[in-house]
Amino acid sequence: MALALQTFATVKDANAALKAQGTRYLGGGTLVVRAANEGDVSVSGLVRSTEPSLSTIAVAGGKVRIGASVTMAAIASHPELGTLAKAARAVGGPAIRNMATIGGNLFAPAPYGDFAVALLALDATVGTDDGQTPIETFLANRDGSRAVVTSVSFTLPKADSFRFLKVSRVKPKGVSVLSIAAVLELSSDGTVTSARIALGCMADRPMRARAAEKALIGRTLTADGIAPALAAAGDGISP
């Protein structure tokens, strides 16, 4: 099936074109083109924007803004985003990472969307022409979204406070069985003062492990200390 592609210089014009029925936004194409190739007849046209801000990474004062068209490969190789390199490299192999964008990963269904799990743990905000939306709210409502995602923003986590893990049956680049991202802050005595834990593949989209987060507060990161959080980690999941 032939797909018409329209390219616009601004996000505003691309947003207007997206109002046409059957039109999808084209980022890296790893999701929407695949869907069309597999027979998704709901896709009849593609829209993209070449607005420069979509392809830039800005890091200043501990704050990060990543344009929605930035690829996983660019994130993995960025000198100031080493914290996120492991999560970016979890997305497919080199060919996929050279195409897959941060904006597209927000829409990836399970078992994909590993990078969105990391962004959820980082409490990111998602930018569109309509403003900034907390990522948890955006993910909950993404199926009805028709606005072009322009950026993702977050605060760089403190050194050693962020961790990401992908579990798959096929090494090294199989699809995820589970992905976990966590941002933990500790007091001087080693007890957890703040916890954000995100899970992938435990629902149809990334989710917070709120019961586990709550169980970690005031605990130390020892086997005994984390036992209550491990016991609570499955609360609310639907793999």
Peptide bond into 111 cis (omega under 30): yes
Would you say 136 and 144 are in contact if contact means Cβ atoms under 8 Å apart? no
Report the pLDDT value the prediction gives residue 207, as an integer from 0 to 100.
97
Report the pLDDT value the prediction gives residue 165, as an integer from 0 to 100.
95
pLDDT tens track of the chain, all 239 residues? 577 899 999 999 999 999 888 899 999 988 888 888 887 768 889 999 999 999 999 999 999 999 999 999 999 999 999 999 999 999 989 999 999 999 999 999 888 999 999 999 999 999 998 899 999 999 999 988 888 999 999 999 987 999 999 998 887 677 899 999 999 999 999 999 999 999 999 999 999 999 999 999 999 999 999 999 999 999 989 88
Q: Using CB atoms within 10 A of its CB, is residue 197 exposed (0-12), middle (13-18) or buried (19+)?
A: buried
Q: Where in the chain is the domain with CATH 3.30.390.50?
A: 170-232
Report the pLDDT value the prediction gives residue 239, as an integer from 0 to 100.
82
Would you say 3 and 32 are in contact if contact means Cβ atoms under 8 Å apart? no
27 CB contacts (<8 Å, ≥6 apart)?
48, 68, 69, 100, 101, 103, 104
Neighbouring CB atoms inside 10 A of 137's CB total 11
Report the pLDDT value the prediction gives residue 114, as an integer from 0 to 100.
95
Would you say 26 and 103 are in contact if contact means Cβ atoms under 8 Å apart? no
Bridge partners, residue 5, by sequence: 46
Neighbouring CB atoms inside 10 A of 80's CB total 12
Q: Where in the chain is the domain with CATH 3.30.43?
A: 1-50
| CA gap 34, 30 in Å, rounded | 6
| CA gap 200, 126 in Å, rounded | 18
Predicted TM-score of the model (pTM): 0.93
71 CB contacts (<8 Å, ≥6 apart)?
28, 97, 98, 99, 100, 101, 102
Topology of the domain comprising 170-232: Enolase-like; domain 1 (3.30.390)
CATH code for the part of the protein at 1-50: 3.30.43
Report the pLDDT value the prediction gives residue 1, as an integer from 0 to 100.
57
